[in-house]
Structure 1
Amino acid sequence: MRRTKILATIGPASQSKEVLVEMIKAGVNAVRCNFSHGTADDHRQRVQLIREVAKELGVYIGILADLQGPKIRVAKFKDGGVELKKGASFILDADMDKDSGDEKSVGIDYKALPKDVAKGDVLLLDDGKIILTVDKVSGNKVYTKVTAGGVLSNNKGINKQGGGLTAPALTDKDKEDIKTAAALEVDYVAVSFPRDGKDLDYARELLKQAGSVAGIVAKVERAEAVTNIEEVIMASDAVMVARGDLAVEIGDENVPAIQKMIIRRTRQLDKIAITATQMMESMITNSTPTRAEVSDVANAVLDGTDAVMLSAESAAGKYPVESVKAMSRACEAAENSNLVDIVSKENVTRNHNRVDEAVASAAVYLANHVDAKAIISLTESGSTALWMSRINTRLPIYGLSRNKSTLGRMTLYRGVVPIEFDSTRMARFYVNREASLELEKRKLVKQDDWMILTSGDHMGLHGGTNKIKVIQAGNVV
């Protein structure tokens, strides 16, 4: 069983029922809805279709709403774009009409840019393809010299090398999109360009006010987020290493080490790690990935990431299904290499402050040292299954829960398979037997297979896991 989860972006190439069915069969565990594109109705229709397909296939598919974040971009050009030559002067003008750009100047969507930069600062446009050095700032105009030229077209992004732009993480559009995400009952909401834990706390409060218990995903894209990584991780439920904008701000060469650090620390703090951006980029137009892309995916798996993400490959590429299959193969091969050894020993040997966390750790240890075929976690909140997923095991962890929000969250937990199961509807004496029968019915275990099961004395209570039992399929009483 592949343990690393695949998060695929849905878009024009993958929003038909036929393609979605094939993508899920190929291995998609959760779907990303990019709120930078489309209307609320577009997202509503896509979410409805995803749930319809998942129900037909008998699987749980998580849904992540990815907020656009602040638009730190140039405006538009009269002719759609210009060529900037090295050594030329170029002005970023906050007062300029948004459609009047030319080879000398262009408007900017982010009006506070002149206040955020000073002489000597380096600005990177279009993911670093064009580099400008600030000569001076006068009023609402930023005068620059082109250090690395090229073609600059409409609405390309602006980053400041080293970070320091003060744009808030949540725009008015994002706040409205949070309400839409809450109404759609998504499982996760990703916050773009957070600077610190306060940005994430604010997003969580807005979600709460909208009636949502969705998990918060922190997209690490700013240099400030790296500086404040400890509080960013603690304020979130999952952390996405969003390597595109991050690479522009901190330098391409620094991303690999930062990626490893973030994944490791995220796992240590019992949060979910997602690795994203250009993982199978060439498959937007090619039917097979490059060797470098396969290696990239494999290295993320070896780092211990919980999930790997497809962006344009599945949203707008020619080969969305093939991209999922290629990513799945790369994940499985890496997992079978016996090199995955992230923080398991730390999680097994550390002292636990909670009984349920200690039980989760002990259950995986026990399962790894007996001839068990599966681990079953009867869980309300999903915490027991999450703790189990922090410790390496080749055994599948089946998270059985009656709560839809918990089932949705578990779709991104490494090695955890969410299964709907309501233990409160049966007599306590029969719960273990029914849990075993559920797995037998799904052909996940067979007669006489040994399993490790964790549960609590009182079904339906959060944080109540306090028991481990060794059970045998077909012989549970």
Structure 2
Amino acid sequence: MALRKTKIVATLGPSSSEEGILERMIDAGVDVVRLNFSHGTAADHIARAELVRDICRRSGKPVGILCDLQGPKIRIGKFENDRILLKVGDPFILDAACKLGNQQRVGLDYKTLPSEVVPGAVLLLDDGRIVMHVDDVQNAEIFCTVTAGGMLSNNKGINRQGGGLSATALTLKDREDIRTAVALEADYIAVSFPRSGADIEIARQLVVDAGGHAAIVAKIERAEAIDALEEIIDASDVIMVARGDLGVEVGDAAVPGLQKRMIRMARLRNKLVITATQMLESMISNPIPTRAEVSDVANAVLDGTDAVMLSAETAAGHYPLESIQAMHRVCIEAEKEYDSQHLQQQINDEFGFIDEAIAMAAIHAAEHLNVKAIAALTKSGSSVTWLSRSNTNVPIYALTTERNTRRKLTLYRGVYPYHIEQPNDDLGHILYDAEETLLRLGAVQRDDLMMLTFGEPIGKAGGTNTLQIVKVGEHRREHR
């Protein structure tokens, strides 16, 4: 399989929980699996995580696990007959005191909504498919007029146009789910609907308190998050361009420009980016994507995203394996058009860390020599972050003794993580093993130039301070 820089995140669900299909999906190119905590039980998620780990142990391929928290449920309640049909001009009441809805009104799971809207507000239900204008608010009742109608069924979500609903990012359920995510050794935990950097810091502390090591993903899906984008990016390890709810709140036309801005800002801050939502939506029920979907995925790759994500396509669709294969093909082709346009800017920047300077020196040298591969010996993965931001065409092999580091690096664009033994601190022995690993992978051949970055003393986290350019075959262990 051709080396692909852009990583693929696949959501697990009923269509992808059987061992055989999941094994084929991983073999086809899944780098990270997403466990969606909006659906299923803790036992379901733990069982799927154990299955993924078991497949990885057998195959030798690392796959990261991302646990996606549900976040606040701003939803309507249920109807007597499960659904109603609304027409333009119909009056309708959102009633926080209503137990069971009918053609005239429906209840609210989010009981404080009447205190957070005023006459003139626009409410968007079911991802914007139903639109209501707020005419009046009286106690627990919100009196509306339908301005875009259609079928409305149980438990559909509510957004306010322009944002502004105050639901906390981390609910009691989310706090319990963080403990579940830590128990199943999640590599990434995604926070839904954060409004500020403080929401991310609270989640990070909850992970630490539970004894976890997961990196924190901020899902950008509220209008307020756009206003606080810099502080949210700085507080997180990864951002997710969550285009569904975001598009409902800010308007669909604003999303493409925001996607580009978010990816650019995250990369400049050396943070990772996942682009998500409806990327291959038609493949839920069709074996091939539309041309528009192909262009959408390719555009995200050209923007510089680290990863592209599949949701219902792999969780509940009829063609989970074909969706992975299509995503892989599109990424490979798009990457042929991607160049190192950001390299010179990075080379000219001042460096705040020694490992950052080593990484940029490695990239600069690799671009001017016929270097076939970069082998980064890493403990924490921090130096690999700098390498992955560089957009180099030289493949980056992250070699680590740390299991958790190896799994986290599955999300980094252009980085291929592998396990390496470190039985002692003998540098010659370790560098020889690194060279042999790349030879075994077919990344280099005898007499090729390869580059090694590592830290002395060996094994110190965040201590990359050395760069070597060697001809393959020159390193030999003293005692073989």
TM-score (norm 2): 0.97
Contact 1:267 1:343 in 2 (8 A): no
Find the counterpart in structure 2 of residue 63 from structure 1. Answer: 65
The one-letter amino acid of 1:153's match is S
Distance in 2 (alpha carbons) for counterparts of 1:343 and 1:368: 13
Q: Following superposition of structure 1 onto structure 2, how do residues 122-161 of structure 1 map, counting pairs within 5 Å?
A: 122-161=122-161
Find the counterpart in structure 2 of residue 272 from structure 1. Answer: 272
Contact 1:373 1:450 in 2 (8 A): yes
The one-letter amino acid of 2:424's match is R
In structure 1, the gaps of 5 or more residues are none
Find the counterpart in structure 1 of residue 252 from structure 2. Answer: 252
443-452 or 397-406, which deviates more:
443-452
Distance in 2 (alpha carbons) for counterparts of 1:16 and 1:385: 34
What's the offset of the Cα at 1:252? 0.1
What's the offset of the Cα at 1:127? 0.4
How much is the aligned-residue C-alpha RMSD, in angstroms? Answer: 1.1
Q: CA offsets per residue over residues 81-129 of structure 1, 9 Å max, x none?
A: 00111111111111111xx111110001111111111110110000000
Distance in 1 (alpha carbons) for counterparts of 2:285 and 2:444: 40
Q: Does 1:401 align with 2:391?
A: no
Find the counterpart in structure 1 of residue 217 from structure 2. Answer: 217
Contact 2:169 2:193 in 1 (8 A): yes
Find the counterpart in structure 2 of residue 374 from structure 1. Answer: 373
What's the offset of the Cα at 1:424? 5.6
Distance in 2 (alpha carbons) for counterparts of 1:328 and 1:369: 29
What's the offset of the Cα at 1:461? 1.2
What's the offset of the Cα at 1:58? 1.3
Contact 2:340 2:392 in 1 (8 A): no
Distance in 1 (alpha carbons) for counterparts of 2:275 and 2:350: 29
Q: SS of the counterpart of 1:324?
A: helix
Contact 1:303 1:342 in 2 (8 A): no
Contact 1:74 1:157 in 2 (8 A): yes
What's the offset of the Cα at 1:347? 2.0
Q: Does 1:469 align with 2:468?
A: yes
Contact 2:425 2:458 in 1 (8 A): no
Find the counterpart in structure 2 of residue 96 from structure 1. Answer: 98
The one-letter amino acid of 1:199's match is D
Contact 1:127 1:248 in 2 (8 A): yes
Find the counterpart in structure 2 of residue 391 from structure 1. Answer: 390
Q: Does 1:439 align with 2:438?
A: yes
Specify which of 13, 19, 30 is matched with residue 32 of structure 2: 30
Q: CA offsets per residue over residues 290-344 of structure 1, 9 Å max, x none?
A: 000000000000000000000000111111111011111111101012x444533
Distance in 2 (alpha carbons) for counterparts of 1:340 and 1:231: 29
Find the counterpart in structure 1 of residue 325 from structure 2. Answer: 325
Q: SS of the counterpart of 2:205?
A: helix
What's the offset of the Cα at 1:458? 1.0
Q: SS of the counterpart of 1:385?
A: helix
What's the offset of the Cα at 1:439? 1.9
Q: CA offsets per residue over residues 16-64 of structure 1, 9 Å max, x none?
A: 1111111112111110000111111111110011011112111110000
Distance in 1 (alpha carbons) for counterparts of 2:132 and 2:471: 66
Contact 2:223 2:246 in 1 (8 A): yes
Contact 1:178 1:207 in 2 (8 A): yes
Q: SS of the counterpart of 1:366?
A: helix
Q: Does 1:80 align with 2:82?
A: yes
Distance in 2 (alpha carbons) for counterparts of 1:343 and 1:160: 38
The one-letter amino acid of 1:93's match is D
Distance in 1 (alpha carbons) for counterparts of 2:51 and 2:8: 19
What's the offset of the Cα at 1:429? 2.7
Distance in 1 (alpha carbons) for counterparts of 2:64 and 2:424: 25
Q: Following superposition of structure 1 onto structure 2, how do residues 261-340 of structure 1 map, counting pairs within 5 Å?
A: 261-337=261-337, 339-340=338-339
Q: Does 1:227 align with 2:208?
A: no
Deviation beyond 6 Å, 4+ runs, structure 1: none
Change (3 A) 1:332 1:101: same
Distance in 2 (alpha carbons) for counterparts of 1:402 and 1:449: 25
Distance in 1 (alpha carbons) for counterparts of 2:111 and 2:445: 63
What's the offset of the Cα at 1:472? 2.4
Contact 1:222 1:246 in 2 (8 A): yes
394-403 or 250-259, which deviates more:
394-403
Q: SS of the counterpart of 1:425?
A: coil
In structure 2, the gaps of 5 or more residues are none
Percentage of pairs with the same residue: 53
Contact 2:34 2:65 in 1 (8 A): yes
Distance in 1 (alpha carbons) for counterparts of 2:119 and 2:188: 40
Distance in 2 (alpha carbons) for counterparts of 1:405 and 1:265: 27
The one-letter amino acid of 2:457's match is H
Q: Does 1:411 align with 2:410?
A: yes
Contact 2:428 2:475 in 1 (8 A): no
The one-letter amino acid of 1:266's match is A
What's the offset of the Cα at 1:134? 0.7
What's the offset of the Cα at 1:475? 2.2
The one-letter amino acid of 1:466's match is N
TM-score (norm 1): 0.98
What's the offset of the Cα at 1:441? 2.5
Distance in 2 (alpha carbons) for counterparts of 1:424 and 1:383: 22
The one-letter amino acid of 1:403's match is E
The one-letter amino acid of 1:212's match is G
